[in-house]
Each structure stands twice: as structure tokens, then as C-alpha cells.
Structure 1
Amino acid sequence: MEPIPLSVFEAAVQVAGSALHYKSSLKQLLRNCGVSENGAERYSDLTKYQIFRNTWGDLDRDGVSGRKVQHRLVTALANLDKPDPNVPDVAAGRRSIAELRRLAQQAQLLVTPADLARAERRKAAAAEAADSTSKREQLAALNDAFQILHRQADKQRRGYDLEKLLSALFRWAELDYHGSYKTETDQIDGAITLDSFTYLIEARWRDEVAMATDLAAFADKVERRIDATRGLFISMAGFRPAAVDRYRQAKENRLVLFDGADLAWVLEGRFDFTDALRAKVRAASIQGDPYISVNRL
């Protein structure tokens, strides 16, 4: 990065001294542009002109990093809309800003607010694209792990690994997640929070479908907690139809049901998990059905 031309520096000194009324305003500008707290306060007893000159000299000694701050200082001062109305000579302050702006543009140093806004938008878009790519890669890795689980011969190990996979999925979805825990009466596979509701998790990977007794036992855990608690039952093999019918006909139901096909749709990236959960809750509320497949939502 090239040094600031002397003419631009002198014009910047004039703006610092004539367009800013308070020393505190100048020191805040120095901080905003990257001057350290100690650097901004070092020359507080001097005039605004002297504070700026001495701070600039310190930045000269910092090499490339100091020049970057100097460039930001020139940009900030040249982009001032107008002088502080309390300065002794507002017209002189206005002229000093105009002169700095002219010289900075001539030296191709000036970054306008519009340029800064465009740069920020480009930076944000690039970060969003990178984050999106990273999220897709993370989800693909989770799906790969899911496929490996299908080949897991140790059923107990498979169930444990399913819990770990779901934990990673909930964190990927940026949900407030609490891992598995025990109380005096219950074993809970975890809990997530979404839209002010807490969902207790029951996750199982067995060869047989979940029966009415399984659903009833989990529903009992949920119902013994406050009304803002719901239950998310994930059964890879699905659910016995007659067992689900009881909850379709129930006066009050706080369970939402996922099966292996639902989970596959989410892990393949066809349906966002939080969107899927919200859609299932909406279907349970409107249609009274807690077990509508994700691919039908």
C-alpha cells in the first residue's frame, strides 16, 4: 500500500482541526479507523491539529498496518457530510472537507460511502455463499454417516450412533439442543427448542415398528411437563397404524412423529429439518395427524 501524498495529509490535518469541534469526536474517529485506545488518548492535551499530526507520525512508524489506518482516516474525513455546527468557522470547515475530497479523489484514494456499502454487500454475499457451501458439505457428511449406519450390524451401537447423528443434525440446524439425560423417573434422548416450544426427543432404530405402548410411555413423559413441552418421536422403522390412530383421534395430542424416510429426506437436503418439523406441527394442528410423511408436506 502506497504512502499518502503529503498534500493529502496536510488537507486531512485541516479537516481534523477545522471541521471537528470536539477532541472527543476526533479521538472517536481515530478509534473507528483502527487507532488503538492508547494511541487515540496519547496526545489528549494537545490541539486537534497536533493530535492528528502526532498520531499520523505514530502510524508512519507502524509500516503497512499504519498506512492502512491512514487510508481509512483520509476516507473518513473526506466523506464527512459537513462540519460540526459548533466549530468557530463553519465555512472554513466546509472548504477543508471539499479540498481534502478533491485531493483524495485526484490521488485515487477516496472510497465513497456507496463504495463502502457495495464492498460490504459483496463481503456479506461471499460469506453467505461460503457458509451455504459449508452447510451443504456438513449435511452431505451427515447423510454419508446415515448411510453407514444402515450397514451397522450391532443394533445397540446403531441406536447409540443414531443419537449422535441427531445431535449433529440439530446443531447443524442451529437449534437450541440439550443432550440425553436422566431424571429420577425418565430417560430422555435429548431436547430441542423451536418457536418457544421444547421438544423432548425419543429416538430409536429397531427392526420393529413402534407400538401403542411405546407411544403411550413417551406421551406420558411429555404430559408430565408444562404445556409448552411437545414430544418428537423418531422411529426409523415407523409406527404401528393402529397406535397412530389413537393420537389422530385424541382430544389433545402433543406428539410429532418422524420415521426413517422422513429423516432421509432431511439428510438428503430435500427438506430443511426445522421446516419439516414446523410443517408436521402445522399438519397435526390443522388435520389432526401427527404422522404425515415429509414428502407429502
Structure 2
Amino acid sequence: MTGSTARHDEAYHWPPELLELLIQVVPLLCRSKIAVVDFFRSAGVSEALLMGFRRQLDQDRDSITKYAIARSVLRQVNEQGDRGLPVRRSLLRNVTEFEDFALCWPDDQLKAEGLVAKIRKLVHVKDSFTRLQERQEAEREQRRAEQEERRLKIESRRRKLAGLRAELSALFSMADVRKRGLALEGLLNRVFAVEGISVREAFALRSEDGQVAEQIDGAIELDGSVYVVEVKWWKEPLGIDPVSRHLVRVYNRAEVRGLMISASGFTKPAIAECELALTQRVMVLAELRELVMLLEGEGDLSGWLREKVRRAALERTPLAVFGVDF
């Protein structure tokens, strides 16, 4: 296993350099051959694997060395793959946490201490490298997840806009003018909602006797500003009267802006009236064809409205038409 492999306690097996160090150090940590066997048993090595060594030591203690026992057991444990993972973890923990070197033979103490230090360093280096790898991989995974989330949002927006575009196209063939107007109001609310613009759908203000005192087609909120929205689908361009009525709604509400959308455009006097209103409030005029173009091109509705507001506030141009003026 090199620096690009998994952590020592999660790997399929120990790397050769770590395995060799363990083979060298375990016999030094144990004074006797049977102590080596018991060391392995205490780490969770199965008695079935150790039983042959116990018998061999009982029959002829000199027939095998501590190093031979350690090499055979550690190699077998290492070859167990994932099945031997708990034992490998335990063995490595017992070695790296070993501190009482006085238990070793006096001549082995310094060598054992040095080998344990090497193992600790090797484990630390590999863990540090692996932690860096894991952190980098986590960052890559987070970027992949964010990219996938953006892709899904884009696809979802595209599908929703396609559906709304089809609905809007169908409205042009609707004969009932009143139903068409109401349908357009609801559709535009959903267009704004798809773009993440906060929407309050049509509502009515009633007098004390229950009569409708004021009908509001809807309200939207963008960048902390609230816009009272009015939508008209008339045959002729909107004149001063409907525009003035909407301006009154705006004036009657503190810090509120106005947005009026017409399927038939606006007369010059109506536009001039809104220009005068811009000295007191932001009033934006829009044509339905602008929204049709935005839907067809999957344009940014928020950016469209921001640009119209900027031109209205700074240039005193209530009607700046998308595709013509910008």
C-alpha cells in the first residue's frame, strides 16, 4: 500500500513496510515464545490459528522462534482481508499504545521502543495523508453534489417554463376576455414564483358592508421591495384611466412600487402620467410580449425586472421594452 491507499485500519491488508515492522517488533515486546502467542490471542487472533503453535511449543520449544511465530501469524491475519480487519486494528492498537518497555528483555528495550516509534510515525503519516485525501474527496463530492443540484434546478426550471410558455400560447386563442384575463393573472404569478420571486396572488379589499373596495391582481417582492401588480389584456392600448387607478393603489401604500403589464401596450399619455409619478414612486410598465420573449428564451425574469426598475428610477423611463430598449 502506498500513500494513495486507504487508511491502515480500513485497508484490505497492511502494506509490506508496516507488516515487516510488526514482525520485527512483536517478538521484542514479549519475553517468551508462549508470550508471543498470548499477545496475539489478546488482540483477538483466533485460537484455531494459534493452536498449532501451542502444540509445537509443548512438544519442542526450540523447534520454532518468536520471529517465526510472529511472521506466520501476522501474514495469515493480513491475508484474511476484510474478515481480519478487527484483529488487524486491535494488533496495531496494542503495538502503538505499548509503553512499558521495561517488560521487554533489557537488551531489546531500546530496539523495541525505536520500532514502535517507527510504526507510530508510519501510521500517523498514512493517516494524515489519508485524512487529506478524504477531505479532498469530500470537497470533490460536495462540488459534484452542488453541480448536480444546479443541474436538476436548471432542468426543473426549464420544464416549468416550457409548461408555462405552452399555457401562455393557449391564452391567445381564448375567446372569453374575462376568463383570459384571470388566467393570465394566475399564470404570471406562477412565472414569478418559478424564478424565486415572492408572490402574493390576487386579493380583494372589502369595505365594512362586505363590498369589494379594491381588487389587487397580485403583489411580488424582489430585493426587499414590494410591487403591486396589475395585469390587463385589452384590445386597445391602455390609456390614462386604468394606469391612474393603479397609481392610486400604489400611492395608498407606503414604500410600495408599481408594476403594470399590458397585452396591448400603453398610450403616450399613459406613459407620460407614469413619468410624472416617478418623482414620487417607482412605477414600471411592461408589455406582455416581453414576458413571451423571456419565456421563449428561458431568460432571467428577475434580471429583466431589475433592469426595468433601474431605467425607471434613474432615467425616468417607465416603459423600457425588453428586446427593443435593452
2:123 corresponds to which residue?
99
Return the offset for 1:96.
6.3
Alignment of 1:272-283 (within 5 A): 272-283=300-311
Secondary structure of the equivalent of 1:208?
coil
Q: 1:191 maps to what in 2?
A: 219
Q: What's the CA shift for 1:6?
A: 4.3
Q: Does 1:141 align with 2:137?
A: no
Give the aligned partner of residue 208 of structure 1.
236
Q: CA deviation at 1:269?
A: 2.6
RMSD: 3.4
Counterpart of 1:189, as a letter, is D
CA gap 1:12/1:238 in 2 versus in 1, 3 angstroms: farther
User: Cα distance, 1:165 vs. partner?
Assistant: 0.7
Shift of 1:9: 3.5
* Structure 2 match to 1:240: 267
Question: How far is the alpha carbon of 1:211 from its aligned partner?
Answer: 1.1
Q: Label 1:99 to 1:263 Cα distance change in 2 as closer, same or farther (>3 A).
A: same
Match for residue 178 of structure 1 among 200, 204, 210: 200
Q: Deviations over 1:182-229 (max 9, x none)?
A: 1133110111111111111101111121110111110001101112x1
TM value normalised by structure 1: 0.65
CA distance in 2, matches of 1:94, 1:232: 74
Instruction: Quote the Cα distance in structure 1 between the aligned partners of 2:167 and 2:93.
Output: 60
Aligned with 1:207: secondary structure? Answer: coil
Letter aligned with residue 152 of structure 1:
M
Deviation at 1:4?
A: 7.6
Residue 179 of structure 1 and its aligned partner are, at CA, apart by 1.0
Corresponding residue to 1:285 among 305, 310, 313: 313
Whole-angstrom CA distance in 1 between matches of 2:314 and 2:236 = 29
CA contact (8 A) 2:282 2:313 kept: no
* In 2, Cα distance between equivalents of 1:204 and 1:94: 81
By how many angstroms is 1:124 displaced?
1.5
**Deviation digits for residues 59-92 of structure 1 (CA, Å, limit 9, x no counterpart):** xxxxxxxxxxxxxxxxxxxxxxxxxxxxxxxxx9
Q: Kindly indicate whether residue 242 of structure 2 is the aligned counterpart of residue 220 of structure 1.
A: no
Checking the alignment, whether the CA contact within 8 Å between 2:158 and 2:298 is kept in structure 1 is no
Which one-letter code corresponds to 1:267 in the other structure? L
Instruction: Give the letter for the 2:166 counterpart.
Output: D
Q: Is the 8 A contact 2:186 2:201 kept in 1?
A: no
| Structure 1 residue 240 displacement after superposition | 0.8
Give the deviation of 1:18 after TM superposition. Answer: 11
Q: Which residue of 2 aligns with 1:124?
A: 146
Would you say the 8 A contact 1:11–1:100 is kept in 2? no
1:5 alignment counterpart: 82
Instruction: Check the 8 A contact 1:139/1:269 in 2, yes or no.
Output: no
**CA-CA distance at 1:161 after TM superposition:** 0.8
Alpha-carbon separation, structure 2, partners of 1:219 and 1:13: 79
Q: 2: distance between equivalents of 1:158 and 1:213?
A: 21
Please state if 1:269 is matched with 2:269.
no
The amino acid across from 1:129 in the alignment is R
In the alignment, structure 1 segments of 5+ residues that lack a partner are 20-91
Q: Does structure 2 retain, via aligned residues, the 8 Å contact 1:18–1:93?
A: no
Do the aligned partners of 2:220 and 2:226 also contact (CA within 8 Å) in 1? yes
Query: Superposition pairs for residues 7-22 of structure 1, below 5 Å?
Result: 7-10=84-87
CA contact (8 A) 2:220 2:228 kept: yes
Query: Partners in 1 of 2:217 and 2:159 — Cα distance?
Result: 26
Q: 1:11 to 1:253 in 2, by over 3 A?
A: same
1:8: Cα distance to partner? 3.8
* Percent identity between the two aligned chains: 26
How far did residue 254 of structure 1 move?
2.6
The alignment status of 1:252 with 2:280, answered yes or no, reads yes
The AA in structure 2 aligned to 1:205 is W
Distance between the aligned counterparts of 1:131 and 1:235, measured in 2?
A: 30
Q: Distance in 2 between matches of 1:285 and 1:161?
A: 30
Q: State the distance in 2 between where 1:8 and 1:253 align.
A: 72
**Is the 2:282–2:309 contact (alpha carbons within 8 Å) kept by the matching residues of 1?**
no
